[in-house]
Amino acid sequence: MPEHDTSATEAQRQRAVDSLGLVPGLQHPRLDRITRLARLGLGVPMAAVTVLDHDQAWFPSTQGLSAAPVARTETFCAVTIDRDDTMVVRDTAAVPRFADLDVVRHGGVRFYLGRTLRDPAGTPVATFCVFDTAPRDVDDDEMEMFEDLAAWAERELVASTEMSQARRVQASLLPSAPVRVGGWEAAGVCMPALAVGGDFYDYTVTDDVLHLSLGDVMGKGTGAALIGAGARTALRGTDAAVAAGVDLGITVTQVARNLLPDLEAAESFLTLFELALDARTGMVRYVDAGSGLALLVRAGGAVERLDGEDRPLGVLPDDHWSEHERSLEAGDRLLVFSDGLLDLVPDPQRWWEPIAAIVAGADDLAGCLAAITRLATEETPLDDITAVAVFGSALDAAG
């Protein structure tokens, strides 16, 4: 069993391991499913996915083995990681390279079967392996099953890492803290149904004008998230013009034209609620592009729906969008949200009643978003849930 050179240097391999973003000591549920199947299907007492990290080995998934990290030199995988093929050690005690390993001398491991797992660039990042307490052979059917499970583990390891990274990037694009301008405060929350989702929200302030966007790209996952990120950037690019008084319908139409090639290529569309609030006067200008999910709860308790008749972005190439106006006063509260929240209310046909009750009953803006988060946690969301609230001071909205 010679150790093979690999085209990737150890430094390259370590960078690839670091890029996985896995946390040592935390079990990986999706990999656990695979190692459980390996243990049952191959009739072995132990299975694991092993990551070699500098001079240490740790296990994002183990079955029948301790998950505690061990020295890299005390592993079979230190040899496996440099091989281009599957390594079979039919009797570990008969091979000098392995006979003195602690897992052989004290752990009772007498059989090892392992394969290197690689990232999309072909760099070895981990191993998939099974162990037995007695020497044994592997027949063709068992080897085929093992190879299939190892390939599955490789795809899962890379895919889960990419999704984790995408989730972190998407979260970093959301506003990091509430924003206050004059007597108005805005904050939001986004809870993707998957690791990443097609919902996005944004808010910024330009010359005492609060800009707010909430969009929902048809579909879920990375593709929808990429389109949402592009839409967010394009909308931000219009903030200065909107603050200067340019009609919001014109700016949204311009953004829609720019996004149309991407939406058509993805066979998708984007519902959008775009709002500009002048903090000095309380005047709100908004565009509703197929959303219809904005509630204004007045300080006196009256509930108004802010909506429009315009279609989502990406439906028809010649569509255009219209600006609407509404005047807000001190103590008014506004909530804009995506349709995932409708799955959690008792009667989606009269959704505004329970949602308005949440808005009106909250002590403050943070309490409103916390109540929505609790609702999403207690139920089982079928879609992304995103909500942005704007609360006006009960004293003087104009500050």
Pair (104, 247) in one structural domain: no
Choosing from 119, 135, 168, the residue where a domain stops is: 168
Give me the sign of the Cα torsion angle 224, 227, 233, 235. Answer: negative
Element (H, E) at 380: none
- pTM: predicted TM-score of the whole model, two decimal places: 0.62
Choosing from 136, 152, 168, the residue where a domain stops is: 168
Domain of residue 132, residue span: 4-168
Pair (239, 161) in one structural domain: no
Q: How many domains does the chain have?
A: 2
Per-residue pLDDT of the chain (399 residues; tens, 9 = 90+): 434 444 447 887 887 787 676 777 777 888 899 999 999 999 999 999 999 988 899 999 999 988 899 999 999 999 998 887 899 999 999 999 999 999 999 989 999 999 999 887 788 889 999 999 999 999 999 999 999 999 999 888 876 655 555 555 556 667 889 999 999 999 999 876 554 456 789 999 999 999 999 998 886 556 777 788 889 999 999 999 999 999 999 999 999 999 999 899 888 899 999 999 999 999 999 999 999 899 999 999 999 999 889 999 999 999 999 999 999 999 999 999 988 888 888 887 889 999 999 999 999 999 999 999 988 877 666 677 889 999 998 654 444
Pair (260, 149) in one structural domain: no
The contacts of residue 149 (CB under 8 Å, 6+ apart) are: 34, 37, 38, 41, 128
**Beta bridge partners of residue 272, listed in sequence order:** 215, 289
Residue 84's domain is classified under what CATH number? 3.30.450.40
Pair (208, 108) in one structural domain: no
Whether 398 is in a domain gets the answer no
Residue 281's domain is classified under what CATH number? 3.60.40.10
Quote the strand ranges of the chain, DSSP E. Answer: 46-53, 56-63, 70-71, 87-89, 111-118, 124-132, 179-181, 184-191, 199-206, 209-217, 270-278, 283-289, 294-297, 303-305, 324-327, 333-337, 385-392
Element (H, E) at 263: helix 248-265
